[in-house]
Amino acid sequence: MNYPERIERDIDLKSLIADLRPTRLAGVLRQMLGADFSLCDDKGATLLGDRRAPPDADGIPLRHRLDHVGTLYAPSAAPDNLRAAAAFLELIFEAGGRLGMATGLHLQAAQEDYRALLDRHAALTRAEAHYRMLAGELEARVQVQVATIERTWGQLYQAERQAAGIAHELDGPLGLVLGNLATARGYLRHFVRLAGLIGQSDAAALKAYWQEHGLEHALHDFAGLIEEAAENADQLAHAVAGLKTACHAEAATEADAGLNECLHQPPGAGSAAWPAPSRRD
């Protein structure tokens, strides 16, 4: 860190002796020069010593950093003592000036360090505010994701319940269709056998087979089986179509579908409705 070589300020004798305990300095000069010494500034005003010193007395000019700051008078003192006292004052003025400069430099460094700390504190405050904002945004995003997950879980749970209900409702018509088809296969085997007998032109055997296997009833029942199977197949087709419609509607509106109401509404009552299956006793 670079500092100026000197602290710029107005230097005068009064400010120089103010930091040197003037009373104590006056006592030292009195011992060195006698009681009639006078220390005057560059304007002639007496700052220490005898204020009644003759204005025409010889004095030693005092300098500080090449500037004339005052004059030391001591009419009764030996010239060597007067010069020594003046040199002593200039030395302590120089030492005091150096001390003042060092103090000023130290104060300036402390102020710059304090300003640097203030800047760092401001930067940390801004960073903290920024991180708090990011934390708030992250928390909001987490809440949105949690809400989305909960909503999706609810939809999956509802879809699972709907699938179970649909499977239950489709089980009846499907069982009837399969049962009717099994019965129709049995009838078909008899009719195939009967066709063989007809080909042999054995009327007695044909009549006996017809009566033995109750083909008269089978002949009348076969058409009913086909019609009933067709009706149940049609119900299954309606159920599948209604399921597709309900799924599309739910995907578009994200609304829960009432499965039982859809299953038991009559045909044409709604886009998600299908007829309740008929059951054969």
Tell me: pLDDT of 39 over 80: yes
What confidence score (pLDDT) does residue 211 get? Answer: 78
Tell me: pLDDT of 131 over 70: yes
**Nearest alpha carbon to residue 186 among 216, 213, 220:** 213
| 23-37, 103-117, 212-226: the lowest-pLDDT one | 212-226
Q: Indicate the residue type of 257.
A: A
Q: What is the dihedral of CA 131, 133, 135, 137, to 10 degrees?
A: -140
Tell me: pLDDT of 271 over 60: no
| 42-51, 59-68, 214-223: the lowest-pLDDT one | 214-223
Are 72 and 165 in a shared domain? no
Q: What percent of the chain has pLDDT over 90?
A: 28
Instruction: Label the pairing between strands 38-41 and 67-73.
Output: antiparallel
Are 169 and 241 in a shared domain? yes
Confidence of residue 167 (pLDDT cuts 50, 70, 90): confident
What whole-number distance in Å separates Cα of residue 219 and Cα of residue 222? 6
Are 92 and 174 in a shared domain? no
Residue 3: inside a domain: no
Are 106 and 184 in a shared domain? no
Confidence of residue 274 (pLDDT cuts 50, 70, 90): very low
- Count of structural domains within the chain: 2
Are 163 and 257 in a shared domain? yes
pLDDT in tens, 198-223: 666 667 777 787 778 777 777 677 77
Sole residue written with tokens 């939809």 = 155
Which residues have CB under 8 Å from 120's CB, separation 6+? Answer: none
Residue 228: inside a domain: yes
Phi and psi at residue 153, in whole multiples of 5°? -60, -40
Q: How many CB atoms lie within 10 A of CB 61?
A: 12
Tell me: pLDDT of 270 over 70: no
What confidence score (pLDDT) does residue 64 get? Answer: 87
Residue 109: inside a domain: yes
Residue 24: inside a domain: yes
Are 166 and 259 in a shared domain? yes
Confidence of residue 265 (pLDDT cuts 50, 70, 90): very low
Residue 111: inside a domain: yes
Sign for the CA dihedral angle at 18, 23, 24, 25 comes to positive
| 62-76, 80-94, 220-234, 263-277: the lowest-pLDDT one | 263-277
Cα 247 to Cα 73, 156, 250, distances in angstroms: 115, 12, 5
What whole-number distance in Å separates Cα of residue 104 and Cα of residue 98? 10
Tell me which residue range forms the domain holding 31.
13-116
Query: Which has the higher per-residue pLDDT, 56 or 82?
Result: 82
Are 99 and 162 in a shared domain? no
Dmax (CA) of the chain: 181
Are 20 and 89 in a shared domain? yes
**Cα 37 from chain centroid (whole Å):** 78
Task: Give CB contacts under 8 A, 24+ apart, made by 250-259.
Answer: 250/155, 254/151, 254/155, 256/158, 257/158, 257/162, 259/161, 259/162, 259/165, 259/166
Residue 152: inside a domain: no
What confidence score (pLDDT) does residue 9 get? Answer: 53
Confidence of residue 8 (pLDDT cuts 50, 70, 90): very low
What confidence score (pLDDT) does residue 258 get? Answer: 47
Contact between 93 and 62 under an 8 Å Cβ cutoff? The reply is yes
Are 82 and 176 in a shared domain? no
The region that residue 254 occupies, defined by phi over 0 for left and psi between -120 and 50 for alpha, beta otherwise, is left
Cα 165 to Cα 62, 156, 221, distances in angstroms: 114, 14, 32
Are 162 and 85 in a shared domain? no
Instruction: Label the pairing between strands 38-41 and 46-49.
Output: antiparallel
Are 105 and 196 in a shared domain? no
Residue 61: inside a domain: yes
Confidence of residue 4 (pLDDT cuts 50, 70, 90): very low
Q: What percent of the chain has pLDDT over 70?
A: 75
Tell me: pLDDT of 1 over 60: no
Sole residue written with tokens 């930067």 = 123
Residue 269: inside a domain: no
